[in-house]
Amino acid sequence: MPIDTLKLAPSPAQWLSALRARTGSPRAAIFRSQLSLPTDRPVVMSGHQATIWHPGILAKRFALSAAAERAGAHAAWLVVDQDPEDPSTLQYPARPSADAPLHAQTWTWAPPRVPMLCKADIPPCAVPAFLPAPIPDADAPALSDTPAALLAVHTSLHAEALVAQSLAAQLACTVERLIAPYDPRVQLIYASQLARTDLFVELVSRMARDPHACAAAYNRAVAAAPDARLAPLRSDERACELPLWHVASPEQPRRRVYASELPKLLATTSAGTLLPRALFMTGLLRLAGCDLFIHGLGGAGADATSGYDQVTDLWFRIWLGEDFLGPQPLAHVTTTTATVTLPLLNHPPVSERTLRTAQWKLHAARHNPRLLLDVVAATRKQQHIAAIAGANSRTDRKNQYLAMHRELTDYRQHVEPQLAALQSEILEITARLRDQAIATRRDWPFPIYPSSEITALRDRINHAFASA
């Protein structure tokens, strides 16, 4: 199988059970209607930043569709468009000739302005779409299907650039086009849309009324889950940080929001300029937007309980309380991830240990003739060692030592072809390890994978849910 690993945690049967057990609420009905989500059936949700994903993220998308279909639910994909991850380059493996080493070729499809904006912390929801640059006429792709895949990406980016309202929408809709041969389209929800909902305004107003209670609850939850590696909010006598971003206008950096400025921001800016930060975003969606949320390893952990979103559960319980949350907790989270590698290796794999052994052998063979089966030279070396040990004077020891090394020099000249062969072996192993580092990468963009590998990943996930 081309799939190296696939994780669905807990079992798909437990996903479906958790999904069906959750009941609706008036708050959820209003929130979903404001996001154009259905209110007459469950909603399954997952999401990622606005980039062209690798297969590990694609696995979440396939699991989203499979779970929704199996449960008769609606599938929605969250575009995390307030996170300025640089999407301007796309890499693919290249090899100039059949016997040349692999390397990662980069296609910079967006103008230099895009990475500059991302480095300035300007989110893609505040950046316009761009027409893609031509595909470079560079080294030959290592896989024959890559040129067609790159052309499909270029075509999709170009088409979406003509209609997209932002860079985030351009990328999200490009991915939808590229997935279309494998999976039905799903509804896209943008994180920046959440600020237009009544629930967002209600909870942000609650933050404004008692910001220290919000920050204290957040920080207690962060401290309770140190493995999540989340930073606490600043909360002291001088400033109280809140889990919000503020974007003043298009192409302006996002910045942290503090309690002292929040009332003014609520009163004088449009709702779209306030954006939820990570935990607030997933908290809103799991509270009222969906009935199951599919994370990767970071959000949910390998066991679907130990990722960073566990902090959201505890934070909302402490901050909002049971009276606000009602009888059911936030929507359950599940884990989906996969490692899929490209068929790039044209030789058996080697290990770092193989390299270390070859390096040791070359070094040792220069000093130990026995390793290269030169019995005469090995015997002479042992005789000199014995003579050094038995010498009666410092001068005799030095003379024996120098004589031994003269003979070792002669030996090295005699076995130079074998030593050169060992050096060549080291170079070959090193080159193979470099190739393996390229070949075993799991983060190539999914469009360049052979369709058979993408189909196999989808089918394996679908089978897991069909048998649940």
Strands (E), 363-446: none
Residues 329 and 377 occupy one common structural domain? no
pLDDT at 347: 81
Q: How far apart are CA 242 and CA 233, in angstroms?
A: 7
Per the CB < 8 A criterion, the answer to whether 78 and 189 are in contact is: yes
Task: Please tell me the predicted confidence (pLDDT) of residue 272.
Answer: 55
- In a structure prediction context, what are the per-residue pLDDT tens digits for the chain, which is 468 residues long? 456 899 999 999 999 999 988 888 999 999 999 999 999 999 999 999 999 999 999 999 999 999 999 999 999 999 999 999 999 999 999 988 877 889 999 999 999 999 999 999 999 999 999 999 999 887 789 999 999 999 999 999 999 999 999 999 999 999 999 999 999 999 999 999 999 999 999 999 999 999 999 999 999 999 999 999 999 999 998 999 999 999 988 889 999 999 999 999 988 755 458 999 999 999 999 999 999 999 999 999 999 999 999 999 999 999 999 999 988 889 999 999 999 999 888 788 899 999 999 999 999 999 999 999 999 999 999 999 999 999 999 999 999 999 999 999 999 999 999 999 999 999 999 989 999 999 999 999 999 999 999 999 999 999 999 988
Whether 416 and 295 map to the same domain: the answer is no
Question: Is there a single domain that holds both residue 420 and residue 323?
Answer: no
Q: Of 255, 281, 120, 270, whose CA–CA distance to 190 is shortest?
A: 281
Point out which residues pair with 333 in neighbouring strands.
293
Q: How many CB atoms lie within 10 A of CB 325?
A: 17
Report whether 243 contacts 262 (CB < 8 A): no
pLDDT at 270: 57
Do residues 378 and 396 share a domain?
yes
Task: Give the pLDDT of residue 1.
Answer: 42
Q: Please report whether residue 347 resides in a domain.
A: no
Could you tell me if 235 and 301 lie in one domain? Answer: yes
Task: Report how far residue 148's alpha carbon sits from residue 447's, in angstroms, rounded to the nearest whole number.
Answer: 9
Question: Domain span at residue 409?
Answer: 352-438
Do 174 and 95 reside in the same domain of the chain? yes
Q: What is the pLDDT of residue 2?
A: 58
Residues 97 and 161 in one domain: yes
- Give how many domains the chain has, as a whole number: 2
Q: Sign of the CA dihedral 351, 341, 157, 121? A: negative
Based on the fold, state whether residues 193 and 251 are members of the same structural domain.
yes
Say if residue 337 is in the same domain as residue 358: no
Note the residue count of the chain: 468
Same domain, 159 and 283: yes
Shared domain for 162 and 128, answered yes or no, is yes
CA distance 384 to 402: 10
Shared-domain flag, residues 48 and 80: yes
Distinct helix (H) and strand (E) counts, the chain: 17, 11
125 contact partners, CB below 8 Å, separation of at least 6? 81, 82, 166, 167, 168, 190, 191, 192, 247, 275
